Amino acid sequence: MTDSPQEPPARRPPIPEGRAAAVIVLVAFAARLYLLLSTHRTAEDFYITLRYAENIARGQGFVYNAGQHVLGTTTPLYTLYLALAHWLGLNATLCGQLLNVVADSATCYALCRLARAVIGPSASGGMPGLVAAAIVAVWPPSLYWSISGMETGLVTLCGTAALAATAERRPYALAVWSALLVLLRIDGLLLAAVCFGWLAVWGHSTTEAPRHRGRVGRAFGLFIVLLAPWVVFATVYFGSPIPTSLIAKLHVYGWQSPGLLPNLRPFARDMTRNGLYWILLVGAIPSVFVAWRQTGLRPALVWIILYYGGMAFSKSFLFGWYYVPPAPIYILISIQGWVWLGSLVVHGRVGSRLCYAAVAIVLLAGIVLLPKQRALIAADQRQDEALLKSTGLLLAKMIAPGETLMLEPIGWIGYYSHARILDAVGLVSPDVIPYFRQGAVSPYLDILHDLRPEWALLRTGEYDQAARAAVPPDYRLPASYEIVLEIPNPAAPRNRPAFYLLRRRTTPGPGSQPLH
């Protein structure tokens, strides 16, 4: 990424450890490409974005359901990229996966640049960055989500590159990376605010303050200009640039997660799930104080505290891909702590050699464990195809054009069923959000009663909750809907069905009689 000619070239630090960095990037790319080609993994939420993209490419508009202008995807730029690939006759899924594989691999280089800019051009200045980049290259969550079809790899790269540009005091590069980040995920606004705020207030010396602030101001203007076309279009087309899916997650998932801090314990468990996570946590604790003294790393430190704090104290579900974008920064901060602890024992060249040895050990261990990762990812893919894809294909044969299907897992099933979807949690159906209100006995039952979709696909727990709700007889689920199919889970065929497929009755049913 080049910057304005006004930017001093001295603040674009080279990477003397270039060969090691190149090896790390190549290992990262090869590992992801191997997993992609051997598992063909695609995640549930990717199919929401893909359905939007294919509708755009077919001329139906930026919609999930034809005729409904609802912004149910949080990644408009990636959606448009997939739409372009589909319009050109390419395999949009593969194009999306390959782009994320490349981006996630490039994150390793961006992390090295960030470390070099923060620590300085000393003999071992880039060592923490190399070790952190090596871990990221074979980090299981990064491997998993980079090939999933989702935009996670791109988001991770743009966030890391924006922080590197901030540490290098390149405001124009920051503007471009931040704009890309926000167009990929709206929560990138938090990182942009932290980086621009730091550059404007602290990212300069006293003598260059007026000139520097002028550059930052112009760069921020560039950031606004890059975002403006999308903001204007989204406001006109959807009524707001804020995704409905974001509003639904905050409201509906909050309703489904009662209590003061429901995510605090799951977050703590996720951050300490095994020995490696504990090692990173132990390194991160002293590094908070070490990193704060390195002014270039302060924006990253502030952002990751806010990011992780938002996850720990929120009520929204903690999906796996939420952990990936901040992971490179968290790992770098942790390695900084361990390098600082190690500096109390070894110095200079010995320390550098130890870091190179750590890089080699990490990469070798990651390569050795790749077959195990492949087996786990492939198993997830087979399970999703056996249950979700097959269910979607089955429903495509049963649901007539124009009929509406209500369900919550709208990714695989929504895509392959080709049905008009009423999203039970509101990601693409804002009409359902008000039903998740305080005191509601069964939002699903209320939605079915009021909006009356022709079909409903409910998980076992969802069906039980709706069928057993304490409501008047004529309001009960059997009064309006009948079970037409029980769909088993191929992974556990002897258990209760994975889904119940319900169809709206054309005549009143036995409302006073429970189904079970």
Using one digit for the tens of pLDDT, what is the confidence trace for 10-61? 445 455 577 889 999 999 999 999 999 999 999 999 999 999 999 999 999 9
Listed in sequence order, the DSSP H helices in 147-250 are 152-167, 171-184, 188-201, 209-238, 244-248
Look up residue 268 and give its two tokens.
């703590």
Give the whole-angstrom CA distance, residue 63 versus residue 44. Answer: 18
The mean of the pLDDT values for the chain is: 89
| Helices and strands counted in the chain (H then E) | 22, 5
**Tokens of residue 325, six digits:** 């974008």
β 499-504/455-459 pair status: antiparallel
Which DSSP category does 9 fall into? G
pLDDT score recorded for residue 16: 53
Does pLDDT of 346 surpass 80? no
Phi/psi of residue 484, each to 5°? -110, -15
H or E segment and range at residue 355: helix 348-384
Q: Who's near 326: CB < 8 A, 6+ residues apart?
A: 159, 303, 304, 307, 308
Segment (H or E) for 78: helix 76-87
Specify whether the CB–CB gap between 407 and 419 falls below 8 A.
no
What pLDDT is attached to residue 351? 60
**pLDDT for position 493:** 83
Type and span of the H or E element at 343: helix 327-343
Gap between the terminal Cα atoms of the chain: 63
Least confidently predicted of 117-126, 128-137, 406-415, 500-509: 117-126
User: Residue 496 is which amino acid?
Assistant: R
H or E segment at 487? strand 481-487
pLDDT above 80 for 513: no
Torsion angle of C-alpha atoms 246, 248, 249, 255, degrees rounded to 10: 150
- DSSP letters along 11-40, please? GS---TTHHHHHHHHHHHHHHHHHHHHHH-
Cα torsion through 78, 82, 84, 87, rounded to 10: -160
Ordered by where they begin, the domains of the chain are: 15-380 (no CATH), 399-504 (3.40.190)
- By three-state DSSP, how is residue 455 classified? strand
Strand-pair category, 420-423 with 404-407? parallel
Q: With a cut of 70, say whether residue 515 has pLDDT above it.
A: no
Question: Within 10 Å of residue 231's Cβ, how many Cβ atoms?
Answer: 14
pLDDT digits (tens, 9 = 90+) for 281-319: 999 988 887 777 766 788 999 999 999 998 888 877 788
Give which of 294, 166, 279 is closest to 223, Cα–Cα: 166
Of residues 120 and 367, which shows the higher confidence score? Answer: 367
